[in-house]
Structure formats: C-alpha cells, structure tokens
Amino acid sequence: MPDWIHVVIRAALFMIVLFIITKILGKKQMAQLSMFEYVTGITIGNIGAELVINLREKVHLGVIAMVATAAIPFASSFITMKSKTLRNILDGRGKAFIKNGKVLEENIRREKVTIDEFLEMLRREGVFDLDEVEYACLEANGTLSVLLKKENRPLTPKDLGIYSPPEEEAHTIIMDGIILDDALDLAGKSRIWLRKQLENQGVSNEKEVFIGQVNASGQLKIDLYNDQAQARNSGDKKLLLASMHKCFADLEWFALVETEEETKQLHRQNGERMKQAIDKVSALLQK
C-alpha cells in the first residue's frame, strides 16, 4: 500500500480519536482552557501529528499515549473539585487589576501585561475611560472581568422600580426555506398559524424565507432570500401601536401607585413622551 494512503488512514484515525477525547473532556472554548488543559492539548496534538507523518511508529502505541495524556486532566478535574489549593495550582486564579477605582500596577506587572494590553482588554469590554471602572480582574483563563462604578452602569427597569417579567428565547422555526416542526412546537405555534402569518406578510411560500423566528412576544420575524422583496407588515404595525398604548398605560399606572414623588414625576414625564410618540406615528401605523 502506498505511503500516502497510510498517512490518510492515520490522519482519519487520529482525528476520530481526538474528537472522542475532546467529547469526553468536555466542551470548552480556547479562552476558557486552564494552563494545564492548554498544555495537555498541545501534547496530544504533537503526539497525533508525529504518528500521522512518521510511518515507522506503531499506531496503537500512539493511541495509548494520547489516551494516557488525556486521562491526566480528566482525573485532575475530579480532584480539583475537592481541593481548592490544587485547583489554584492547576487552574490558576484571578488577579485584581483595579480595586476600588485604583489601578494596581504591581499586579499588572506580575502578570506580564503591558499598559497597552491592559487598555485593549478594557476596550474589548466597552470601557474607554479608566475612571469609570470600580473593579477589574484578570481571570485564570486570560479574560478581563470589569465592574463599572454605579453611576456608569446602564439604567435597568429595577432601578426605576419597574417589574419586568421573564422573557422567553426566540425560536427559529424556518431555516433555509424549511419549516422546523420541533422548534414550531416549542414556540407553541402550528403550521396553520405560520401559514397565516406568512400570508399577512405577503409571503406565499416558506421556500422564500431564508430565516424565520418567533420572538418572545410571539411575533413572526422573517428574512427573505430576495432582499428587494418587501413583506407586508400591517399586522406588525398594529401590534406595535398596541404595544405603545400598553406602555403608556403602564407608565400612567406606575405614576398612580408610586409613593415616592420623584419617581412618580419620572413616570409621568415618560408617559407624556410616550403619548407624544403615539400621536406622531399613529397615522402611519394604522395604514
């Protein structure tokens, strides 16, 4: 048998072995790997590459070496669950770079991170001003976790005293022109409902749809293969107008039940703004 056929067979075999080992060790992205797991991955890859190219080496010995190497982190994962000290040694632990708004220069130097790299990490987290950060920590996997100061955090409904009900995930019910019945059932919808929604949006057949999703509000959102084709959205317009009226009513209700005068006034102001927005778009949304 020619050597190139041996190489192809060995490559396919070791890819299967590596896939099985990876499935057993668990799903982790590269950024989530500990240093110990990273070293193990490199070792297994080198063993596989050597045995694929070096035809003099015995295949079964290579498989044994790969399995033995993979068994080490597999066993250590159970041990580290019980021992915090060993977990710190093998997986590492986070190091604070900013604490109480103060940059800890010594910790940055110890981790061999330059100022440019540190600022780049902050920018990746959407932070461009050091003064906005209350706490920042370099995690064991190399990612930077950032806690902004209270005055710089985004405003949430909880801050306004507004209750927000849990929101369900969106369900993709059409993909590449094919209806996904399992997802349709999870969304609590039927094919009859889907056909009607497509018809309301000017789509005669699901084959025209590249992707279709049912969002948390139970609305069907679609993207067509033909980007120039405009789906009719009269139903969506009416639903949007109804949602705006509901939002206005909620704000009025919040203003009535709120006991704190400052918050009550805020609800009234936002309600007035919503009323103005409804007056401006009402004619368009009723078409």
The domain boundary residue, chosen from 184, 203, 226: 226
> Do residues 81 and 99 share a domain?
no
Contacts of 286 (CB under 8 A, 6+ apart): 237, 238, 241
Q: What is the pLDDT of residue 285?
A: 63
158 is a domain residue: no
Question: Per-residue pLDDT for 237 more than 70?
Answer: no
* One domain, residues 281 and 220: no
Does the residue 159 lie in any domain? no
Tally of domains within the chain = 4
Q: Are residues 175 and 222 in the same domain?
A: yes
In three-state secondary structure terms, 220 is strand
What confidence score (pLDDT) does residue 26 get?
Answer: 59
Of 89, 115, 130, which residue is a domain's last?
89
* Cα–Cα distance, 268 to 252 (Å, whole number): 7
Domain containing 113: what range? Answer: 95-152
- Which is more confident, 132 or 23? 132
Residue 233 lies in a domain: no
pLDDT at 27 > cutoff 70: no
Instruction: Clarify whether residues 85 and 44 are in a common domain.
Output: yes
Give the domain CATH number at 186: 3.30.240.20
85 with 104, same domain? no
Do residue 79 and residue 13 come from a single domain? yes
Sequential DSSP letters for 82-115: H-HHHHHHHH---EEEEETTEE-HHHHHHTT--H
Same domain, residue pair 65 and 110? no
Per-range mean pLDDT, top range of 73-77, 92-96, 175-179, 282-286: 175-179
The model's pLDDT over 82-125, given as tens digits with 9 standing for 90+, comes to 777 776 676 677 899 999 999 999 999 988 899 999 999 999 99
Residue 263 lies in a domain: yes
Q: For the whole model, what pTM was predicted?
A: 0.49
